[in-house]
Structures are given as C-alpha cells and as structure tokens.
C-alpha cells in the first residue's frame, strides 16, 4: 500500500501539483508565503488521494477554502496546500435541502437559497468565506450560525475515508466543532432551510450588508473578527476600552472603525499580525483579566 501511495504522490507531483504558489493571494488578510506544492482540487477522490499520498511520504497538508480566517507564516507552507476553489463549488436543490460543496462562497450560497425562496442563510451573505471553512468553525454573524442551517456534514478523514455526520454528531458549538477536534476536512454539507420570500430575503441581505459597511472596516484586508467573543462581553469593546483602537505594529493595525478587527494597512506581514495579537492579548489581560482567544486559525511555522 505504501508503495502505491508513493507512486500516486509522484504522479500527482508530475501531473497535478504546482510549486511555489504564493498563498497570500488566497487569504483575505493578504499575508503568508508560498506553498511548496499546491493543488486546486477537482473532486473528492483527488482530495482523498492527495491527502493520503502526502501522509505516506511524510508531507504535511493544509486545506484552504476562501482563506478568510487564516494566517499563514511569512516563510510559507513547506508541504502541500490543497485548495477548494471553483472546481469544488457545486450546489444542488432537493426541496428545502441545499447540497453544497466546500468551495462554494457563502455569498453565492445565500443568494442561491434566496433565489429558490429558502430562508435561513441571509446572515451569511456578507461573510467572506466558503462553505467548508464556515462549517468547520461554525461561522456566524448577526446572532446566527451555520449550525442553524446544517442538517449533515460530509467529511474526509486522514485515512482518506469519507464520513457523514449529522448535526448532532458534528457537535457544532460557538466557533467550535467536532471537525476541528478530530482534524476532519469538510467536503460539503446538506443545509435544511425553511420557506421564504425571495424579495424579503434580498431586503434582509441588503440590510445586513449595510450594517457591515457601517460598522466594519471592509475597505482593508483582514481576517474578519480576529478574536472570539468572551463570555458576557465583546472582544472589540474590551480592546477599545484598553485604548488600543488604531494601535499598530508594522503594517498591521487594530481598526479605528471596529477594534475587533486587525487590518492590513499595506505591506503587513504575518509576523506583524502575530505581534499585534500578542500585544492586544497582553493589554486586555492586564486591564480586565480576560485572555482573548483568536478566532482566526494561525498556521504554525513548520521546519522545511
């Protein structure tokens, strides 16, 4: 088996992988170095083969969707980056159920649902992520989360086998899921929605978009809300009360518009953002006794 996977790895290297692909352009915060190998995956079988073959030859693997909640080291990723992009963005309708692949942008998914007179995803129209990452971390906005729409989740295990989890089995809590605990990759999901009015849903999505534009620094690259909400309060409020609005390190800044966002003013590095994160955590802890936990997924440096 090891020999077969080794041969599969060599074949993928020769026929499907790109090398040295910059990952900064695949993250909304716009930092991070190149991937040693890169695969824009086309189907579930290819994703499974690439992951198992990489493990067989000792190569680490990073799965990327829209990169909206991701910080990648400035040195890059010395393994294989598997991207769920346009080739992995199918959607289909079965009554009130929408089946969607991991690479579907949340905005496209929300509008697809609205166009089919289905409610339950309007909150997600402005989240700059894709379905896979949103389900993986149970993303949310405006007091709603993906768990409110998910019926089941299709996952890939490290051994290359598929696994379908019910909503209950997926254990989706605030910015946390079973997939995160067990290192499962989300391939797609079935969303169970409720009947709705297309026109009313369009109005609702427009209202959410207006709220975002008014309150969030959407004109600057960021990873969205950088920290999770602490119990009983808001991370942005604590950061602002600690006097950190506008505080910057290098090209990374605590947004002057919304302190819960760390933004890229241009030329920022991941190192800048890590240093800024650390300082924000230190000062908030010093003043309020609250340790802010990042919502953003920070990929550790891996020796090449």
pLDDT in tens, 31-61: 999 999 999 998 999 999 999 999 999 999 9
pLDDT at 125 over 80: yes
Q: Got the DSSP string for 22-91? A: ESGGGSTT----EEEEEEE--SHHHHHHHHHHHHHTT--EEEESS-TTEE--TT-EEEEEEE--GGG--E
Residue-range domains of the chain with CATH:
2-83 (3.30.43.10), 90-200 (3.30.465.10), 216-298 (3.90.78.10)
Q: How confident is the model over 72-102, as pLDDT tens digits?
A: 999 999 999 999 988 899 999 999 999 999 9
Distance CA 164, CA 182 (A): 14
Q: What average pLDDT does this structure show over 269-281?
A: 98
Q: What average pLDDT does this structure show over 223-243?
A: 95
- pLDDT at residue 2 in the model: 60
- pLDDT at residue 4 in the model: 86
Greatest Cα pair distance, the chain, in angstroms, is: 59
With contact defined as beta carbons under 8 Å apart, do 184 and 178 qualify?
yes
Q: What average pLDDT does this structure show over 103-121?
A: 96
With contact defined as beta carbons under 8 Å apart, do 35 and 77 qualify?
yes
> What is this structure's pTM?
0.92
pLDDT at 298 over 80: yes
- pLDDT at residue 3 in the model: 78
Q: What average pLDDT does this structure show over 199-225?
A: 94
- pLDDT at residue 117 in the model: 97
Secondary element (H or E) of residue 112? helix 106-115
Give CA separation, 248 vs 69, 252, 275, in Å. Answer: 20, 6, 10
Annotated active-site residue in 152, 222, 225, 255 = 225
Distance CA 260, CA 237 (A): 8
Active site residue 287: no
pLDDT at 254 over 60: yes
Annotated active-site residue in 36, 145, 175, 222 = 175
Active site residue 225: yes
Active site residue 295: yes
- pLDDT at residue 304 in the model: 65
Q: What percent of the chain has pLDDT over 90?
A: 92
Phi-psi region of 175 (alpha: psi -120 to 50; beta: other; left: phi over 0): left
Helix axes 198-215, 106-115, angle to 10 degrees: 150
């Amino acid at each position: 088996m090891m020999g077969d996977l080794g041969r599969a790895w060599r074949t993928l290297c020769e026929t499907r992988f790109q090398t040295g692909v910059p990952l900064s352009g695949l993250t909304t915060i716009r930092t991070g170095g190149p991937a040693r190998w890169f695969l824009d995956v086309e189907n579930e079988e290819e994703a499974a083969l690439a992951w198992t073959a990489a493990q067989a030859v000792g190569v680490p693997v990073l799965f990327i969707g829209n990169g909206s909640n991701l910080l990648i080291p400035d040195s890059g990723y010395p393994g294989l980056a598997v991207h769920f992009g346009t080739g992995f963005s199918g959607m289909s309708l079965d009554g009130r159920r929408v089946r969607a692949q991991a690479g579907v942008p949340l905005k496209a998914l929300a509008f697809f649902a609205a166009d089919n007179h289905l409610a339950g995803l309007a909150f997600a129209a402005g989240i700059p992520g894709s379905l896979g990452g949103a389900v993986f971390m149970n993303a949310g906005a405006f007091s709603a989360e993906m768990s409110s729409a998910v019926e089941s989740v299709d996952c890939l295990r490290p051994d290359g086998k598929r696994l379908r989890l019910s909503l209950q089995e997926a254990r989706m809590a605030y910015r946390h899921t079973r997939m995160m605990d067990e290192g499962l990759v989300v391939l797609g999901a079935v969303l169970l929605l409720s009947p709705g009015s297309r026109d009313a849903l369009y109005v609702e999505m427009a209202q959410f978009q207006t709220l975002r534009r008014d309150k969030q620094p959407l004109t600057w690259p960021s990873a969205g809300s950088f920290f999770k909400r602490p119990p009983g309060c808001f991370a942005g409020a604590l950061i602002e009360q600690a006097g950190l609005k506008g505080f910057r390190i290098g090209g990374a800044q605590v947004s002057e518009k919304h302190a819960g966002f760390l933004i890229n003013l241009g030329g920022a590095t991941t190192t800048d953002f890590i240093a800024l994160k650390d300082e924000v955590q230190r000062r908030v802890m010093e003043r309020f006794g609250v340790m802010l936990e990042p919502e953003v997924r920070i990929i550790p440096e891996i020796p090449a």
